């Protein structure tokens, strides 16, 4: 399938990066460990959250490591332990609890597009937070880094090899400045009012069904709670086109079969 030039993100392998570095990139996945552990995996029934999980591509941590911050601003107040040496290991460049991964790629996007760089969506780690960034990859002639900031002093935070630590996706530069928010009166759109009222009634009915299903499940000691959930959004009822997850394009490496 032909891909237009504006839909291509080039990931130039940097000097010192071997062919295996392409394996550190993958399409974002919907699964999350904490979502798996929710009762009946109910978290996956939140379609907007699951969709966000799949937006873009992820970069995987290349080496198991642990970081610990003494709580001060100096660079040496952040200690990094590595399971083994690795060219693309995390480092401490900035101090103030910040840990930095140099990525083995220089990314370039089409003119008018940049890359949003952030942590994996809906994926938390105790004691540390991913720092978001927006990079002008349509002209930048050098690579960027992925940074996490330790939030809790004197607590050891562990990153496993293969764990996603960064996510990228393209964003058009002019979209935000060319977009406005217009405040409107609800009653000015009768069709929307009608749809909203119908949704409100369905929600009320669904709440009753929820209580009844819970009571029946308790009485029957049954584990199937599928009747509890309102599937209208998941089915895209009322939408001409409904997308519940994103399917980013593949990662193509001409040096790999």
Cα(36)–Cα(227) distance, rounded to whole angstroms? 20
CA 179 to mean position of chain CA atoms: 24
**First-to-last C-alpha distance (Å) of the chain:** 18
Residue 185 buriedness (CB in 10 A; 0-12 / 13-18 / 19+)? exposed
Q: Is the pLDDT of residue 217 over 50?
A: yes
pLDDT at 255: 87
C-alpha distances (whole Å) from 130 to each of 113, 117, 146, 159, 163 are 22, 10, 8, 12, 13
- Confidence band for 222, pLDDT divided at 50, 70 and 90: very low
DSSP state for residue 125 in the 8-state scheme: B
Q: Quick one: which H or E segment has residue 167?
A: strand 164-172
pLDDT at 1: 59
- Confidence band for 61, pLDDT divided at 50, 70 and 90: very high
CA 38 to mean position of chain CA atoms: 19
Q: Is the pLDDT of residue 232 over 80?
A: no
pLDDT digits (tens, 9 = 90+) for 78-134: 999 999 989 999 999 899 999 999 999 999 999 999 999 999 999 999 999 999 999
- Confidence band for 214, pLDDT divided at 50, 70 and 90: confident
Cα(48)–Cα(243) distance, rounded to whole angstroms? 10
DSSP state for residue 253 in the 8-state scheme: -
Tell me the percentage of the chain whose pLDDT exceeds 90.
Answer: 77
Q: How many residues does the chain have?
A: 257
pTM: 0.86
Cα(222)–Cα(207) distance, rounded to whole angstroms? 19
Average pLDDT over residues 157-161: 98
Average pLDDT over residues 159-171: 97
């Amino acid at each position: 399938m032909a891909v237009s030039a504006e839909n291509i993100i080039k990931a130039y392998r940097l000097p010192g990066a071997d062919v295996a570095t392409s394996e550190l990139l993958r399409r974002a996945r919907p699964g999350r460990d904490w979502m798996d552990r929710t009762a009946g995996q109910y978290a996956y029934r939140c379609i907007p959250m699951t969709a966000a999980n799949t937006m873009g591509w992820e970069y995987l941590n290349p080496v198991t490591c642990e970081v610990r911050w003494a709580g001060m601003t100096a660079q040496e107040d952040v200690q990094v332990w590595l399971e083994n040496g690795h060219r693309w290991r995390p480092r401490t460049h900035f101090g103030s609890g910040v840990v930095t991964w140099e990525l083995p790629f220089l990314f370039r996007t089409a003119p008018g597009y940049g890359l949003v760089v952030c942590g994996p969506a809906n994926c938390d780690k105790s004691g540390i937070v991913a720092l978001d960034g927006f990079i002008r990859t349509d002209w930048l002639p050098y690579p960027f880094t992925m940074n996490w900031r330790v939030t809790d002093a004197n607590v050891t935070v562990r990153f496993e090899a293969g764990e996603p630590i960064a996510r990228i996706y393209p964003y058009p530069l002019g979209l935000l400045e060319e977009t406005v928010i217009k405040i409107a009166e609800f009653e000015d759109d009768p069709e929307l009012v009608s749809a909203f009222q119908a949704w409100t009634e369905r929600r009320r009915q669904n709440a009753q069904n929820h209580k009844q299903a819970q009571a029946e499940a308790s009485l029957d000691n049954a584990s199937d709670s599928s009747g509890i959930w309102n599937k209208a959004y998941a089915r895209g009822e009322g939408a001409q086109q409904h997308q519940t997850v994103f399917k980013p394009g593949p990662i193509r490496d001409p040096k790999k079969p």
